[in-house]
Amino acid sequence: MSKAARFDYGWVVVGAGALMTCVGFGTMLSLAVFLQPISDAMGWSRAGVSAAATLDFLCMGFAAFAWGALSDRFGTRIVVLAGSLLLGLGLVTASQAQSLWQFQLCFGVLIGIAAGSFYAPMMALASAWIDKHRSLAVALVSAGMGVSPLTVAPSASWLITAYDWRFAMLVIGIAAWVLLIPASFLVRPAPQGTNVAMTTAASAPQTEWTVAQALRTPQFITLALAHFACCAAHSGPIFHMVSYAMVCGIAPLTAVTVYSLAGFSGLGGRLLLGVLADRLGAKPVLVGGLLVQALSIATYLAVAQLGEFYALSVVFGLAYGGVMPLYAVLVREFFGARIMGTVFGAVSAFASLGMALGPWAGGYVFDTFHGYTWLHAGSFAIGLAAVAVALSFSTKRQPSLDLGRAAA
């Protein structure tokens, strides 16, 4: 197989990863569309149904670390195949749930665990396949998350309107199997002993980290905290974006378009910042993106008109969407490909905890203060903390670890 053919197949792997993140995260986030129909049909509280979303993020976070370790040990294909089977199973069984706890278990736990199998392993594999345009490659895998609000959610809404929530969830579960199981067999390990591998190895760090060493480094701690703060900062404003627009007097259907525009801009942000990171380096682009994100969150304190919301959605979406893939690039550059699945899985676990925090905090703030002012003020402060933490990330090696390993 020629170098060009291998290079081309790397982009097939990237495309499979983008499909997996789209379907995986899209089905998880589609709960927002199912929320009212399920609550009305089953008589379950919205808080009870929404709790499945919190379980999704928590389970996805813990599972991401385990899936990443398994992908490093057994390969990515078996991991994403298992996740694909589990994702469809979660949707199909949730569609037949007769009690709230059954629904929370099937949708909140099974789907959360399944979604964690796609992001970290496929980001790691994409970075191993593609070297010259690595930031763009991982951005494209992550872009599936940005496409999901424009694909899965509208499909779910149409099916619910035409039939009912059970049929809609059942169809989406079957569709997940139909799309993702074949895509899993497109996943191949990055070639070894080839030009691609040698090029990748040339840019890999000289230190051969063990997982235990990597998880104790200041660099891992810095990236994990930055990703946690980044997600904790933007998750609340994103989740409560429609609600806040309605509080400001914008009609419900129009308020949804504000959210959709932010999601579409997030897709563009992943591509734009991915290209910039290939040119300028991942760290400066990450820091700049986090700063724009923090300032955008602060701007919510001053907007009230529809046009202002649209303009802010574009900037905010570009920022929060664009920074997400860059953590994977920094993990790959510092720790190398061998343990990237495990290390980035651990970093992603912290990100998921941040994502779980924001929606709950926003709801608590609104119930307590009857507004979102303190949500945006607090999120702005956390966003600035993310900037400060990212600035402190150092690419310098830790010779003490090498000496300690040699002495051992």
Question: What's the CA gap between 53 and 94, in Å, rounded?
Answer: 13
User: Which tens digits make up the pLDDT trace of 365-378?
Assistant: 877 888 889 999 99
Q: What is the pLDDT of residue 202?
A: 43
CATH topology of domain 207-394: Growth Hormone; Chain: A; (1.20.1250)
The two three-digit tokens of residue 101, written as one number: 């706890």
Q: What is the pLDDT of residue 357?
A: 82
Question: What's the CA gap between 144 and 16, in Å, rounded?
Answer: 10
Question: Does this chain's domain 1-203 share its CATH topology with 207-394?
Answer: yes
The two three-digit tokens of residue 278, written as one number: 């290939």
The two three-digit tokens of residue 365, written as one number: 């703030």
Question: What's the CA gap between 266 and 21, in Å, rounded?
Answer: 14
User: In the chain, where are the structural domains located?
Assistant: 1-203, 207-394
Q: Which amino acid is at 314?
A: V
Q: What is the pLDDT of residue 167?
A: 94
First vs last C-alpha separation in the chain:
42
CATH code linked to domain 1-203: 1.20.1250.20
Q: What is the pLDDT of residue 136?
A: 77
The two three-digit tokens of residue 277, written as one number: 């990171």
Only one residue has tokens 């402060």, namely: 381
The two three-digit tokens of residue 5, written as one number: 């053919």
Cα separations (Å) of 55 from 70, 118, 208?
22, 17, 36
Q: What is the pLDDT of residue 401?
A: 45
Only one residue has tokens 């378009």, namely: 257
Comparing CA positions, the residue from 318, 17, 31, 13 lying closest to residue 152 is 31
DSSP state of 394: -
pLDDT at 395 over 80: no
The two three-digit tokens of residue 128, written as one number: 């191993």
C-beta of residue 277 within 8 angstroms of C-beta of residue 127: no
pLDDT at 389 over 90: yes
Q: How confident is the model at residue 91 (pLDDT cuts 50, 70, 90)?
A: very high
How many other C-beta atoms can be found within 10 angstroms of the C-beta atom of residue 109? 17
